Amino acid sequence: MSAIPHQPSQSIPRPRPPKAAKPPSAIADLCATYDGYLAKASKARSALLRKYEPKALHAWRVSLRRMTATLDHVAAALPGEQPDGVLAQLKDFRNATGGARDLDILLDETLPAFLAHGGHGDRLEGELLHALNARRVQGHQEAVEGLKKARLTTAIHHFHAWAETQRKVSDDELRAAAASVIDTRFRQLRKRAARMHEGRTRLHRARTATKKLRYTIELFQPLFPREATQAWLERLADVQTHLGEAHDRLTARALCRELLPQAREHAQLKALRRWAKETAAEAAGKAGHSLERLHKLGHYWRH
């Protein structure tokens, strides 16, 4: 019986493990964040065109503001052209709905707070309330008409075209750009806060500067130590809350004077305007104390 010839063993090839996915770059994360803002704005717009809701209008405006408050300085700090067309369009879209937002705050927040303060009845006199509600309905209609024209498709397309030109920006380059933008926004806030007690316009500018710094720090949070950025965001949120209250009270005074001609003589409206001025001053004072605490934090982006 002949021996079976020895056959060399053949190893079965093993499948190669898949390559580990390359972590996204910081610039990719930043552009994805901007895409998220645009998606939220689109969702809010669709909801508003179905049915007007103050919360949806607020979401629309905040989502656009997060872009318009940061993208110009971010793009300026990076190579290439700036997406000026995108910014101009988004600002126009946001501004077209500002009047409705002011009326919502007056009737849903400021007026109830005044009446709860006591001593001036449980509601605004009928004719006055009717006049404000009628103007509010008109404001809602104007906002919806503005939203019908506010198609985001072109802005999104142009933003993506700009983002494509930034794909090669390194994490270190973006971090340096972030530090520059945060520093610029912080210096702007300090300058405007120093004059925030000089009237409604100055206070509004301080409030806007606070928002811009907060949104910028949020945008770049992944690039810096979490604990440091979180401390700044918490303090800035506190400043923004107080400045927002002061601004809303002063805006209520201006709206009553503009929309209700009898505001100068009517006792209830005179009391509302006086209360609004006093509480605005109190809120601005609290904002000043919050800013003092903010200035004690370390400037983490400079390290």
pLDDT for 240-293, tens place per residue?
Answer: 999 999 999 999 999 988 888 776 778 888 899 999 999 999 999 999 999 999
Q: Is the pLDDT of residue 156 over 60?
A: yes
DSSP string, 131-143: HHHHHHHHHHHHH
Up-side HSE of residue 32: CA atoms within 13 Å toward CB? 7
Q: Is the pLDDT of residue 13 over 70?
A: no
The contacts found for 195-202 with CB under 8 angstroms, 24 or more apart, are 196/243, 196/284, 196/287, 196/288, 197/284, 197/288, 200/247, 200/250, 200/251, 200/254
Nearest alpha carbon to residue 64 among 28, 100, 40: 40
Up-side HSE of residue 273: CA atoms within 13 Å toward CB? 16
Q: Is the pLDDT of residue 71 over 70?
A: yes
- Residue 23 pLDDT: 60
Who wins on pLDDT, 297 or 7? 297
Q: Is the pLDDT of residue 8 over 70?
A: no
- Among 19-23, 185-189, 193-197, 223-227, which is the least confidently predicted range? 19-23
- Residue 1 pLDDT: 45
pLDDT per residue as tens digits for the range 96-149: 888 899 999 999 999 999 999 877 777 888 888 899 999 999 999 999 999 999
Q: Assign 2 a pLDDT band (cuts: 50, 70, 90).
A: very low
Q: Which CATH number fits domain 26-302: 3.40.50.970, 1.10.10.10, 1.40.20.10, 2.40.340.10?
A: 1.40.20.10
Q: Assign 18 a pLDDT band (cuts: 50, 70, 90).
A: low
Q: Assign 239 a pLDDT band (cuts: 50, 70, 90).
A: very high
Q: Assign 7 a pLDDT band (cuts: 50, 70, 90).
A: low
Per-domain residue ranges of the chain? 26-302
How much is the pTM? 0.88
Who wins on pLDDT, 246 or 6? 246
Percent of the chain with pLDDT over 90: 77
On whether the CB atoms of residues 49 and 144 are closer than 8 A, the answer is yes
Identify residue 301 by its one-letter amino acid code. Answer: W
